[in-house]
Structure 1
Amino acid sequence: MMSTTPSKTTRSVIIALILLACFIFYFFYITQPDLKYSTMNFFKCPDAQGQINNISTKTCLSVLKMQNLTCTMNITVDKPLMTTSASKPLTTAKEEEPETILLIWMWPFGVGFSLGPCSSAFNIHGCRLTDDRNLFNQAHGVMFHHRDISRDLSNMPKLPRPAFQKWVWWNMESPSNSDSNPLLKDLFNLTSSYRRDSDIPVPYGLLLEATEKEKNYTIPKKDKLVCWVVSNYSPNYKRSQYFTELVKYIDVDAHGRHFNKPINNDDYLNLMISCKFYLSFENSIHRDYMTEKLFTPLAFGTVPVVIGPPRENYEQFIPSEAFIHVDDFPSPKELADHLKLMDQNEDLYKQYFTWRKHFVSKGASFGLENACRICDHIKRNKHYRVFKDINSWYWG
């Protein structure tokens, strides 16, 4: 009769397998310290039917007892596993990237602006704006307003510039209204202005996609034909010369200090809304130089009549049917005749608003928007950058 007692060889094999299982478990446990589990069995073996089942603690102990060995198959973990430093829990989360600091070295024309969070205004995150010069050595970028830089650079930083730090030249005035300075050569890393070829372009305004509600646009009621508000008046400006000729053929409701009719912001907007056409005449003519004189009338339901760069340049910013360019007419008299015709034909006048089915006009937040977009650019572009000769680029 065959004995049912396991042979010595079989017992040795079983013990070896159990020890191997314990070793594998121990190795797996110490090399996976971030696992969190409770009363979990890791070792499994096939039963008589070939199904995978947990090896019980009782089986483990009964087998190893023969060799005076012990094995704990169930381990309970109640607290987070710790790193080698017993004071800090282990974490695999990526550390939060530090904020990018932008230092506004000088306020534009000495007038400060709100340093509100860029996240809520422009959906730009991870930026910190400050005017605290004590943070100079920590700042990733420093913002300088061109018109406020002293001719001899005496109001520029005296400390050496940190290697990682970007100096940003910022100017929203046209070359005609800004003096060049030979000392600025090789001084800056980045540029920010209204020009599209700036490193950080910030135009005076732009058109955005309209919401469903904004697409249902109604033109405001009008009781005036042509309006203009101007304070900076010079007989040498093209706009002044054109205006002098235009008023010979059409009435213009003109306001501003030059006409001894100063106007506040509220009255300015009310006047613009009440006019069918507004003279959006720039004080100087340069590529991409289209100021709030263009985008404010568009936003408030008035057709801008523009003097500025060529029509082709305007059409890179706004639809061709959204404005009237004085260059479209041989003389101010032909322009005046066209405006009078639009006054008499409502259907023709409405064609200047077809773009409102798709877009809305938005003006830039002067200062804050520049700062936020500069900070965002520096955050996303950490490579070396230098601007060799700003004078030839801007005034050349």
Structure 2
Amino acid sequence: MELKTSSRVCQNVLITAALSICFSAIFYTYYEPTVNCLNQPTVSRPNSCRDICINALKMPNLTEMVNNTCIVNITSVSNLFTQTEPVPPTDPDTILLIWMWPMGFKFDLGLCSSLFNIHGCRLTDNRDQFNSAHGVLFHHSDIRGDLSNMPTLPRPPFQKWIWMNMESPSNSAKRSTLNNLFNLTSTYRLDSDITVPYGRISEKTGGNTTFTIPNKDKLVCWIVSNWNSNHKRSQYYENLRQYIRVEAYGRGFRRPVSNEGYSDLVSSCKFYLSFENSIHKDYITEKLYYPLKLGTVPVVLGPPRKNYEELIPGNAFIHVDDFLSPKELAEHLKLLDQNEDLYRQYFTWREHFVASTTYFGPEHACWACDHVRRYKNYRVVSDLNSWYWG
């Protein structure tokens, strides 16, 4: 009986406290507009002071019994009225929220330290952590045109939004709604805030500098699935094959190549046509880096040679622009086929360097998180369209 009486007393005290705070809130609503809870963002508080009062009466953790005395946690009740914009989290790790998996490709969220030696970063795809995330990563092609799949909550002032895109401007939909939306860019371009190329040339570690050229039984190879007769690469190929045999594979030629068979095929070719599907500054893709990695000389069609030489040694590849015509290129390839010493000159860079390809997705997320962790400066990408599409 005594316990029931105490409970009723506790409930009455809680109601009195809640009503008192509600009265204060209502008072300030009308006499102090700057703290009007009705005008605060709905993300951080209930819809009205009335809802807060009702919710307060439903929360059992706001009261406790101590020595048969009802204790009301006024601070907890008051916090319902004083919640504000999210504040920077106290988590020692930098949190990067992957808002949308790039092209639906999921990867292990714990790879940053093991793959890239990046520490102090924590990746997550849990959208409930939006308010505490230091950065949020968005993949361009997964953003809807009307932005309906973008966050609807107000962005915390400390949070960076990172725009990720690995497609060229020709293969990316231009959207006017993206201006003034992001703080950082992560693309293949060298002038991005977070540059993630399709591959890299790195110095060798260790004492072993020897490289053995794989056995070759094909002269020129090309694998293409996205065949478009209007592409410059398609037109160049049609001219080139009149003067030299090109082993063409891929869906475009009804000769598909499996993932398992790709490496063996490319390494068996003396030359590989590393032709890009569109020509843009810095747009140098895995079509170059895989042949380099597998011990094949790439013949490139893309941005100017000078752009390639910003990323790889000049004697590691052959550029179509070095020749006046496809016929001259074909004659040069035939010469190299007959002269082993000249051919080996394209592998001298392997004495000191190795080629690698990018981990699509993990590298963008990890390096973006590392950038946000290191650099706290304020920045807004005001005109993304002009910068990327020009």
Q: TM-score, normalised by structure 1?
A: 0.75
In the alignment, which residue of structure 1 is the partner of 2:384?
390
Tell me if structure 1 keeps the 8 A contact 2:198–2:289. Answer: yes
For structure 2, which runs of at least 5 residues remain unmatched after alignment?
1-89
Q: Which AA in structure 2 matches 1:256?
A: G
Equivalent runs, 1:1-396 vs 2, <5 Å: 98-396=92-390
Q: Which AA in structure 1 matches 2:340?
A: E
Distance of aligned partners of 1:152 and 1:214 in 2 relative to their CA distance in 1, 3 Å threshold: farther
Whole-angstrom CA distance in 1 between matches of 2:375 and 2:98: 19
Whole-angstrom CA distance in 2 between matches of 1:326 and 1:213: 35
> Where does structure 1 differ by over 4 angstroms across 4 or more consecutive aligned residues?
none
Whole-angstrom CA distance in 1 between matches of 2:162 and 2:223: 33
Tell me if structure 1 keeps the 8 A contact 2:198–2:285. Answer: yes
Q: Which AA in structure 2 matches 1:154?
A: S
Residues 19-57 of structure 1, C-alpha deviation per residue, up to 9 Å, x if partnerless? xxxxxxxxxxxxxxxxxxxxxxxxxxxxxxxxxxxxxxx
Q: 1:271: Cα distance to partner?
A: 0.6
Q: What SS does the aligned partner of 2:164 have?
A: strand
Q: What SS does the aligned partner of 1:136 have?
A: helix
Q: What SS does the aligned partner of 2:200 have?
A: strand
Tell me if structure 2 keeps the 8 A contact 1:305–1:326. Answer: yes
Q: Which AA in structure 2 matches 1:346?
A: E
Q: 1:214: Cα distance to partner?
A: 4.6
RMSD of aligned alpha carbons: 1.1
Segment of structure 1 superposing worse, 380-389 or 300-309? 380-389
Whole-angstrom CA distance in 1 between matches of 2:310 and 2:105: 31
Q: 1:116: Cα distance to partner?
A: 2.6
Whole-angstrom CA distance in 2 between matches of 1:313 and 1:379: 30
Residues 128-171 of structure 1, C-alpha deviation per residue, up to 9 Å, x if partnerless? 00110010001000000001100000000010000000000000
Tell me if structure 1 keeps the 8 A contact 2:300–2:320. Answer: yes
Q: What SS does the aligned partner of 1:228 have?
A: strand
Q: What SS does the aligned partner of 1:215 have?
A: coil
Tell me if structure 1 keeps the 8 A contact 2:199–2:356. Answer: yes
Tell me if structure 1 keeps the 8 A contact 2:112–2:121. Answer: yes
Whole-angstrom CA distance in 2 between matches of 1:258 and 1:295: 21
In the alignment, which residue of structure 1 is the partner of 2:61?
none
Whole-angstrom CA distance in 2 between matches of 1:266 and 1:361: 20
Whole-angstrom CA distance in 1 between matches of 2:160 and 2:385: 18
Q: 1:338: Cα distance to partner?
A: 0.6
Q: 1:366: Cα distance to partner?
A: 0.7
Q: What SS does the aligned partner of 1:243 have?
A: helix
Whole-angstrom CA distance in 2 between matches of 1:259 and 1:121: 36
Whole-angstrom CA distance in 2 between matches of 1:298 and 1:214: 18
Whole-angstrom CA distance in 2 between matches of 1:286 and 1:380: 30
Tell me if structure 2 keeps the 8 A contact 1:181–1:391. Answer: yes
Distance of aligned partners of 1:251 and 1:214 in 2 relative to their CA distance in 1, 3 Å threshold: farther
Distance of aligned partners of 1:141 and 1:359 in 2 relative to their CA distance in 1, 3 Å threshold: same
Q: What SS does the aligned partner of 2:281 have?
A: coil
Q: 1:120: Cα distance to partner?
A: 1.0
More helix per residue: 1 or 2?
2
Residues 331-387 of structure 1, C-alpha deviation per residue, up to 9 Å, x if partnerless? 111101110111100000000001001100011111001100000000001121111
Q: 1:266: Cα distance to partner?
A: 1.8
Tell me if structure 2 keeps the 8 A contact 1:214–1:360. Answer: no
Tell me if structure 1 keeps the 8 A contact 2:236–2:326. Answer: yes
Tell me if structure 2 keeps the 8 A contact 1:207–1:362. Answer: yes
Whole-angstrom CA distance in 2 between matches of 1:110 and 1:209: 33
How many residue pairs align between the two structures?
A: 301
Whole-angstrom CA distance in 2 between matches of 1:107 and 1:205: 21
Tell me if structure 2 keeps the 8 A contact 1:184–1:390. Answer: yes
Tell me if structure 1 keeps the 8 A contact 2:266–2:296. Answer: yes
Segment of structure 1 superposing worse, 241-250 or 378-387? 378-387
